[in-house]
Structure 1
Amino acid sequence: MPPVPTIWIAIPTFRRPAQLRHLLETLAAIIPHDDVRLLVADNDPVGQEGAAVAHEMQDDPHYPLPIRILHVPEPGLCSVRNAIIATALADPAMHYLAMIDDDEWPQPGWLDALLACREASGADVIGGPVDAHFMRPPPRWARSALVFQAEDRPSGPTSMLWASNNLLLTRAALALLPAPWFDPRFNRSGGEDLDYLTRLRDAGARFGWAADARVSEWVPPERVRLGWVLSRMWRIGFTETLTRRKHRPGIIGTLALFGRTLAVFAMRTAGLLALLLPGARRVDIAGQWIKCWGRLYALAGGGSRAFYGAE
């Protein structure tokens, strides 16, 4: 008898035990499926706080979902994501792999919405929106800042997905690319999910969007600062351009990216005049301008900075 298809929900974690506990408790409360398995991948070789939380849930006879704990001592985003995919593919019963981060938690109906989109669209990879949840009441500018806004697009087939923090992949999609699935060159800079999804698209994967498959993300007070938001916009520009340079190699590709970036930079610089207008969304205007500087830094050959990973 062939193995019963299962759904793996993978959670990479790094020194966020309280958030991970909240996520695991939420999954237990809203996931009714008896074919779901959890995979907690702890990327901290020292404290292993995430593994300790997962072990506690494992030992709780009332916790309804089976948990597998994966220790990934090699630091970095790509290391832990690659270990997750390798572990999931080693299970012949694994049919779907859902990815969610340890500082998030799903809303009711999350997994069902992802699976329904898969069934309706035939997509190989399905994404969903991520809503910001501020841990303290934020200033008014933060509530409307683009960096804290969830993507808003209709459910159904879509041409591209951008992130892996709310994602469902079929086994067939995972098999489209060889290991390492996430390029280690992005291990500490970020942008590894955009690179992976770009390669999946180029390999023929079909993408879908499930507008009702919502997850929430904790936004701690230290992120609700102008300096953090502008730094985040710089990083987005930097990592996006690193990815685009990889996929458009050679002098011709670099010149094309450079010309496009200069045109956008000129437009954003002219748009700074809008900062003087009453009611202007000043944080977003400044952020888009700063994002261009991150792009220019990447095009100028700026090295890959370590924004993530063990310290």
Structure 2
Amino acid sequence: MPAIWIAIPTFRRPDRLAHLLKTLPGVAGRHDVMVLVADNDPHGQDGAAVAQQLQADGYALPLTLLTVGQPGLCAVRNAIADAALSDPAMRFVAMIDDDEWPQPGWLDALLICQAQVGADVVAGPVDSCFVGHPPRWARETLVFRPEERPWGATPMLWASNNLLVSRRAFAMIDAPFFDPRFNRSGGEDLDFLARLRNAGARFGWSPDARVSEWVPVERARLSWVLRRMWRIGCTETMARRKALPGRAGTAKLLARSLAILALRTAGLTAMLLPGARRVDIAGQWIKSWGRLYALAGGAQNHYGAL
């Protein structure tokens, strides 16, 4: 039985999903690999149709299809975890999003880092691939730059769009692994990883385990980038607020958020300097306001079937 599950949650991106699935056999064509496609659109099921067509055409990897009727990020990720854990042969779940595709050596690099570091969870960089001709600032802004850090053990990971999770890691925390409170807001992966860190999980980073992500034209716009920074501020604070409950925790987060806002406000003057990364400076300022919005009880609903 396959020991490595490549898990793909999908929602109304059939063309992107097809590209990812067609790429996988050449990059992760191992005898111990299977692919799980979890379609989170019970009405259209375009992703399911893509997976079924590839199966009918003799897809080169074992492919399982899962339809998740409950909408939302946590619902589909928990369904994936439950399905994988139900197979006693499963040792690792490799998570990748449906608008991404792996670069050569991706899976092997994750597994090598896991083995050598003794990591419970390993991640790698995500490179942006722009559709069309974006403005120069879009290629340079923090939102679209891949995270870079040294190979090996690392104290914390931040996202699940390029992540290898061991069976042992799932056993370290209680279900639901992805808290339904983040179902429509995002931030469920940050909460998942923070709980693993608090449970003593060991993290690894592999610079060679790279995936590429499509950046459509509508995302390479200033309005989208600034909204993205706002959402990051909101979801980071939601996750931290869960870890610091009660009035004392809220007061601590409020003091921290106000201090960061003051710092970012003072830093706005740097936008006047030649060569300044103005979008990043403005984005960090807006992210600070997103933190305060979350602390005030504001909710964000950006994801999930409609």
Fold match, TM over 0.5?
yes
Match of 1:259 in 2: 255
Equivalent pair of 2:6/2:35 in contact (CA under 8 Å):
yes
Q: What's the offset of the Cα at 1:250?
A: 1.2
Equivalent pair of 2:4/2:90 in contact (CA under 8 Å):
yes
Match of 2:217 in 1: 221
2:46 paired with 1:25: no
Match of 2:3 in 1: 6
Structure 2 counterpart of 1:126, from 99, 102, 122 = 122
Match of 1:177 in 2: 173
Question: In 1, distance between residues paired with 2:181 and 2:221?
Answer: 29
Query: Helix, strand or coil for the counterpart of 2:91?
Result: strand
Normalization by structure 2: what TM-score? 0.99
Match of 2:97 in 1: 101
**Structure 1 letter corresponding to 2:184:** R
Which runs of structure 2 are paired with 1:130-279 in the superposition (5 Å)? 130-279=126-275
Match of 2:305 in 1: 310
Question: In 1, distance between residues paired with 2:28 and 2:182?
Answer: 32
**Structure 1 letter corresponding to 2:302:** F
Q: What's the offset of the Cα at 1:244?
A: 0.2
Match of 1:85 in 2: 81
- Deviating runs (4+, > 2 A) in structure 1? none
Query: Helix, strand or coil for the counterpart of 2:8?
Result: strand
Question: In 1, distance between residues paired with 2:133 and 2:72?
Answer: 31
Q: Which runs of 5+ in 1 are unaligned?
A: none
Structure 2 counterpart of 1:301, from 287, 297, 302 = 297
Equivalent pair of 2:2/2:33 in contact (CA under 8 Å):
no
Query: What's the CA shift string for 1:143-166, capped at 9, x where partnerless?
Result: 100000110101100000000000
Question: In 2, distance between residues paired with 1:124 and 1:14?
Answer: 28
Query: What's the CA shift string for 1:36-83, capped at 9, x where partnerless?
Result: 00000000010100000000111122x210100000010000000000
Normalization by structure 1: what TM-score? 0.97
Question: In 2, distance between residues paired with 1:32 and 1:78?
Answer: 28
Q: State, as a whole percentage, how many aligned pairs show the same letter.
A: 68
Question: In 1, distance between residues paired with 2:156 and 2:53?
Answer: 38
Question: In 1, distance between residues paired with 2:241 and 2:42?
Answer: 33
Equivalent pair of 2:185/2:235 in contact (CA under 8 Å):
yes
Question: In 2, distance between residues paired with 1:296 and 1:246?
Answer: 15
Question: In 2, distance between residues paired with 1:151 and 1:179?
Answer: 29
2:55 paired with 1:58: yes
2:33 paired with 1:36: yes
Question: In 2, distance between residues paired with 1:297 and 1:181?
Answer: 26
**Structure 2 letter corresponding to 1:133:** C
Query: How many equivalent residue pairs?
Result: 306
More divergent stretch after superposition (187-196 vs 246-255): 246-255
Question: In 2, distance between residues paired with 1:67 and 1:26?
Answer: 14
Question: In 1, distance between residues paired with 2:33 and 2:54?
Answer: 15
Q: What's the offset of the Cα at 1:136?
A: 1.0
Question: In 1, distance between residues paired with 2:28 and 2:288?
Answer: 41
Question: In 2, distance between residues paired with 1:76 and 1:32?
Answer: 30
Q: What's the offset of the Cα at 1:5?
A: 5.5
Match of 2:12 in 1: 15
Query: Helix, strand or coil for the counterpart of 1:310?
Result: coil
**Structure 2 letter corresponding to 1:26:** T
**Structure 2 letter corresponding to 1:50:** G
